[in-house]
Structure 1
């Protein structure tokens, strides 16, 4: 095996990514070396490239990319649950000083990955990890979503939002989701009742769908004033608000006067702290089971990108102009020559 590989590197803040040859990593104890077939991109990758994501602790220059799908090619010492040739997926790099997935190979902690869903392509599987883990940590780990509950998802057509909708439905909840007029048909196709947030105020849809009681679980994937709206729409006493973007300054009074609860979701924590990594692998096995049972899919942007188009792909993610998740394919016949 060649001891070098191609990778897309953010060399300095706000500079274009550069595709060049670097040393291929060697798996350390507890790691596996994965031949990357596809690298899923997320808005955080754009923030890191812009030098605007201090919470990700990823100093530049760095190889970007948190999500991946690929094939195990080599095992580090102590790894017993994977073998060369296994197809895997995971959120396993790109922050905290670790190499990202926008490269031919990546050495990853074996606890962070899981067998790839059989019913998803490598491209689709690479789009799932971060958004599904974020959905699960809120809905299941914090709120214990279950049958008989009403769940409201703010931003139901987004990456995390579509996972929240599908996961809540798979666990028997009745699901409602807000979106813009252009996204309502997609939200309905996921099986949720669609709410046009631009044309209906919180109190109106709370009255219409819950007889004024409020929703059992409200998952905010948007942040800002949308989180404030979530506090106003949750059920008294037993209601639970979740947010993966609760980073601003908010008044807790509307939530407190309802006697309801709030949980913040910070999906990166196991990668940054080293604690709880096994749980991420377990969550991804749940994702694979749902996908293989036909209960989980992911909307992909129809535009296809090779490594040589990394800047274009990242621009698409940052500007939010795509029609689904953006993925870079490294083993799909797309050119990977440096631009």
Structure 2
């Protein structure tokens, strides 16, 4: 089968067209004919840092976690799926799990779900990693009806899904971003946009919460921005973040009695722990999509498999609006 693989790691390492044997389904797996995959920040981190991360695949490395495609083979012990089913998921591209930058991909059946019927393959491939991440963050933060929720990075991959999921849970949603186009996306998704370059945290907390703070904050920027989240959250509120790789003074969180939830959605893939939870979440997300409550934002430029290097560059440029997709 045709793949785009890395023979070595590093920011400038090229993806090369590589022929590898077509996989066969082991027990508990399906073989998917991949039709689209999306690029996530963690994919670029694996390419750039390689073995320093501790979970990069061995060379030749086939990356790509998210996918949408059609089942071509069903392994022993798999129920609920059949040949010909259109599915989506986040099931490879790290450790010993082959990724989606290939014509065919083996996937643990617990990590996938049937594709939303109302979406194209391109659109469906945009959802899995960011959708699961946003879902887990909001659930851990206890987001519910009537709450005021702040999403940092509202037009980003996790952020734009988080805005919509928070609204579907009945929350009143606000989201930070910058630039007219991104702020317009935030508004179109149903959140009150906040230009973080024009307003201080104190300003928008006073303006939108009367100074009491937001009930929950979904911080998709993380690291140093967590201090802004602690300053924005209400007493006894919740902050969920996708990026806590930083040394921080937790005093602002302590003085508010705030809870910090760190979401690392790769744990089920890396440690084979609670993998079925991801399949269940994806099925729930598909229902929300088909009900009209959730719609992925897909970046406009189109890339085919042989152009995956350009797709990675597009994401790294910071110019993408929504998810960068590669057609396979």
Q: When the two structures are superposed, what TM-score results if normalisation uses the length of structure 1?
A: 0.93
Query: Aligned to 2:313, which of 296, 300, 315?
Result: 315
- 1:144: Cα distance to partner? 2.2
- 1:55: Cα distance to partner? 4.7
1:28-67 matched pairs, under 5 angstroms: 28-52=26-50, 54-67=53-66
Which residue is 2:3 aligned to?
7
Q: Distance in 2 between matches of 1:76 and 1:288?
A: 24
Unaligned runs of 5+ in 1: 331-339
- 1:224: Cα distance to partner? 2.5
Which residue is 1:283 aligned to?
281
Cα pair 2:32 2:104 within 8 Å, conserved: yes
- 1:58: Cα distance to partner? 2.9
1:66-81 matched pairs, under 5 angstroms: 66-81=65-80
- Residues 77-116 of structure 1 show CA distances to partners (whole Å, capped at 9, x for unaligned) of 1011100000000001001221100100001100000000
Which residue is 2:201 aligned to?
202
Which residue is 1:337 aligned to?
none
1:90-129 matched pairs, under 5 angstroms: 90-129=89-128
Q: Distance in 2 between matches of 1:298 and 1:157?
A: 11
Which residue is 2:297 aligned to?
299
Cα pair 2:174 2:194 within 8 Å, conserved: yes
Which residue is 2:221 aligned to?
222
- Residues 34-84 of structure 1 show CA distances to partners (whole Å, capped at 9, x for unaligned) of 000111111221221123560544333310100000001101110111000
Which residue is 1:259 aligned to?
257
- 1:152: Cα distance to partner? 0.3
Query: Aligned to 1:180, which of 178, 181, 186?
Result: 178
Cα pair 2:224 2:246 within 8 Å, conserved: no
- Residues 320-339 of structure 1 show CA distances to partners (whole Å, capped at 9, x for unaligned) of 22232111112xxxxxxxxx
* RMSD of aligned Cα (Å): 1.1
- Residues 187-226 of structure 1 show CA distances to partners (whole Å, capped at 9, x for unaligned) of 1111101100011111111111111111000111001221
